[in-house]
């Protein structure tokens, strides 16, 4: 972690939060609040390291700032502004001033030493981040799309692999290794409570590692401007105790549940026979398109459209009816389903727990 990225990391928090709030209010939709989106409220070793580095920077920079202002105040007090009519005193230009000379040398030396200290601290932090032990790690692959996250849990054997979207579940106390890919443009994965930012660059593979030590829901956000709906490209990291995580993973590996009698059955027919199936996949059915998020267990997720909406019947209906109204520019066309059919479709999708 370099000095530059540390500053870049913390500067946009306030601005980002302010923009988020305005955006949310403007849309009239309030996503679920998952705890503080705070880079200083560390919930794992990686974020704690970065937090320590930030505190060191803050302390040193504050001390330097105060010292400089004190020196300025002292100088102003010592030699107040001369009378406008008196001639300037140029006598000091002809003689060597020992005192000021020593002060300047001392200040330059102190600045150099402090900057070097910060560089060393940055390098140390970087190395500490790389030292996270990775035994029994959970291996994930996250692909950034405009504007959602495709999340693939790699299992061995291959049949244990499953794909989900916009919701990362991790077990508490186990390291997580995420391979980062991008489908279209540069994105950046950032979960302030757990780890620093890492860019997802098309054509390149990057890796980020972190570990959650406290159960909870931590909000993640795309941190590299990636187009129209960059602000609504969020996700949630849900850190669960290991047994709950395993139960969740076992459920995700299963195919979609077959709808019972009633509207849900009709909803499945509509899904397979309308435009949905041209982009989305539901494991266990013939729907296998990979353009949009995998919907095999969409009913069990907490948000829709990458953190844009809470996952409720009403919001899902609004979303399918006209996504452009809720997330303008999103790559999903409006649907023209009749109201009863839309109702049935939502009953089916929400039933896919």
Residue 265 sits in the site that holds another protein (CB under 8 A): yes
**CA pair distance 274, 335, nearest whole angstrom:** 9
CA distance 294 to 273: 17
Q: Which long-range contacts (CB under 8 A, 24 or more apart) does 246-255 make?
A: 246/171, 248/169, 249/153, 249/162, 249/169, 251/297, 251/300, 251/353, 252/153, 252/162, 252/164, 252/296, 252/297, 253/155, 253/159, 253/160, 253/162, 255/283, 255/284, 255/296
Q: How far is the CB of 305 from another protein (least distance, A)?
A: 15
Choice from 5, 285, 302, 343 touching another protein (CB under 8 A)? 285
Distance, C-alpha 68 to centroid of its chain: 36
Nearer to another protein, 234 or 332 (CB): 332
Proportion of the chain in helix, strand, coil states, percent, rounded to 5: 45, 20, 35
Residues forming beta bridges with residue 189, ordered by sequence position: 198, 222
If one asks whether residue 262 binds another protein (CB under 8 A), the answer comes out as no
- How many CA within 13 A on the CB side of residue 333? 10
Among 102, 127, 131, 291, binds another protein (CB under 8 A): 291
Q: Is 328 in the site for another protein (CB under 8 A)?
A: no
- The yes or no reply on residue 244 touching another protein (CB under 8 A) is no
Q: CA-CA distance, 168 to 342, in Å (whole number)?
A: 28
| DSSP category for residue 309 | E
282 alpha carbon, distance to own chain's centre: 26
C-alpha–C-alpha distance, residues 204 and 289, integer Å: 24
Closest approach of another protein to the CB of residue 87, in Å: 53
Of 273, 290, 313, 314, the one binding another protein (CB under 8 A) is 273
Tell me the number of residues near another protein by CB under 8 A.
33
Furthest CA-CA distance within the chain: 100
Residue 224 lies near another protein (rule: CB under 8 A):
no
- Which member of 140, 181, 287, 298 binds another protein (CB under 8 A)? 287
Region of 82-90, 171-179, 264-272, 307-315 interacting with another protein (CB under 8 A): 264-272
According to DSSP, residue 87 is labeled P
When the beta carbons of 10 and 274 are compared against another protein, the nearer one is: 274
Residue 120 makes contact with another protein by CB under 8 A: no
Asked if 274 touches another protein (CB under 8 A), the answer is yes
Q: Which stretch binds another protein (CB under 8 A): 30-38, 97-105, 303-311, 338-346?
A: 338-346
Under the binding rule (CB under 8 A), the answer on residue 332 touching another protein is yes
Could you say whether residue 334 binds another protein (CB under 8 A)? yes
Q: Whole-number minimum distance, CB 323 to another protein, in Å?
A: 10
Q: Which of 25, 55, 329, 353 binds another protein (CB under 8 A)?
A: 329
Would you tell me which residues interact with another protein (CB under 8 A)?
Answer: 228, 265-266, 268-270, 272-275, 277-279, 285-289, 291, 321-322, 325, 329, 331-339, 341
């Amino acid at each position: 972690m370099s000095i530059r990225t540390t500053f870049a990391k913390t500067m946009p928090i306030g601005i980002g939060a302010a923009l988020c709030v305005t955006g949310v209010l403007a849309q009239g939709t309030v996503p679920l609040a998952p705890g503080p989106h705070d880079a200083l409220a560390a919930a794992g070793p990686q974020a704690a390291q970065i937090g320590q580095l930030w505190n060191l920077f803050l302390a040193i920079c504050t001390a330097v700032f105060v010292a400089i202002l004190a020196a300025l105040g002292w100088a102003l007090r010592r030699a107040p502004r001369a009378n406008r009519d008196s001639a300037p005193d140029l006598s000091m230009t002809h003689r060597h001033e020992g005192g000021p000379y020593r002060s300047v040398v001392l200040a330059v030396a102190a600045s150099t030493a402090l900057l070097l200290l910060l560089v060393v601290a940055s390098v140390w932090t970087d190395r500490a981040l790389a030292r996270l032990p990775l035994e029994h790690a959970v291996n994930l692959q996250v692909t950034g799309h405009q504007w959602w996250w495709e999340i693939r849990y790699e299992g061995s054997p291959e049949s244990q692999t499953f794909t989900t979207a916009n919701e990362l579940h991790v077990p508490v106390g186990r390291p997580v290794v995420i391979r980062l890919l991008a489908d279209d443009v540069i994105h950046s994965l950032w979960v302030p409570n757990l780890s620093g930012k890492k860019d997802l660059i098309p054509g390149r593979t990057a890796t980020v590692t972190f570990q959650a030590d406290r159960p909870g829901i931590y909000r993640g956000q795309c941190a590299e401007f990636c187009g129209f709906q960059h602000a609504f490209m969020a996700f949630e990291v849900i850190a669960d105790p290991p047994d709950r995580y395993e139960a969740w993973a076992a459920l995700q590996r299963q195919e979609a549940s077959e709808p019972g009698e009633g509207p849900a059955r009709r909803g499945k027919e509509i899904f397979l026979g309308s435009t949905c199936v041209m982009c989305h996949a539901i494991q266990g059915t013939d729907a296998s398109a990979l353009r949009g998020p995998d919907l095999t267990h969409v009913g069990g997720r907490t948000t829709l459209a990458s953190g844009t909406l809470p996952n409720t019947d009403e919001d899902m209906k609004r979303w399918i009816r006209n996504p452009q109204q809720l997330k303008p520019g999103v790559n999903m066309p409006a649907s023209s389903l009749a109201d009863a059919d839309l109702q049935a479709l939502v009953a089916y999708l929400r039933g896919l727990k």
